[in-house]
């Protein structure tokens, strides 16, 4: 349980960063399209990390239940 809480907390931090980057990408879309693309790319990379953590957490929960 200790490790899954650690991963859940890390996932929450990554999710906040993802939201911030997506908001930044949206806000600068009309003024600086290159910066918008970079922010969106970084957000997508974070989303992949979030999904990997979700898979890992699900696996840990399954192991802990058995």
Domain borders along the chain are: 1-29
What pLDDT digit, counting tens, does each position of 1-25 carry? 566 788 889 999 999 999 999 999 9
Identify the band that residue 40 occupies on the pLDDT scale cut at 50, 70 and 90. Answer: very high
* The pair of three-digit structure tokens given for residue 27, joined into one six-digit string: 């806000």
Number of H helices, E strands in the chain: 2, 0
Q: State mean pLDDT over 35-52.
A: 96
Hey, how many other C-beta atoms are within 10 angstroms of the C-beta on 23?
Answer: 12
Q: What is residue 16's predicted lDDT score, i.e. its pLDDT?
A: 97
Q: What's the N-to-C CA distance of the chain in angstroms?
A: 13
pLDDT over threshold 90, residue 62:
no
Taking the C-alpha atoms of residue 18 and residue 12, their distance in angstroms, rounded to an integer, is 10
Hey, how many other C-beta atoms are within 10 angstroms of the C-beta on 28?
Answer: 16
Identify the band that residue 66 occupies on the pLDDT scale cut at 50, 70 and 90. Answer: low
């Amino acid at each position: 349980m200790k490790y899954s809480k650690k991963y859940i907390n890390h996932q929450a931090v990554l999710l906040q960063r993802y939201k911030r980057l997506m908001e930044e990408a949206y806000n600068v879309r009309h003024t600086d399209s290159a910066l918008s693309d970079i922010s969106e790319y970084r957000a997508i990379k974070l989303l992949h990390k979030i999904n990997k953590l979700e898979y890992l957490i699900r696996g840990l929960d399954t192991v802990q239940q058995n």
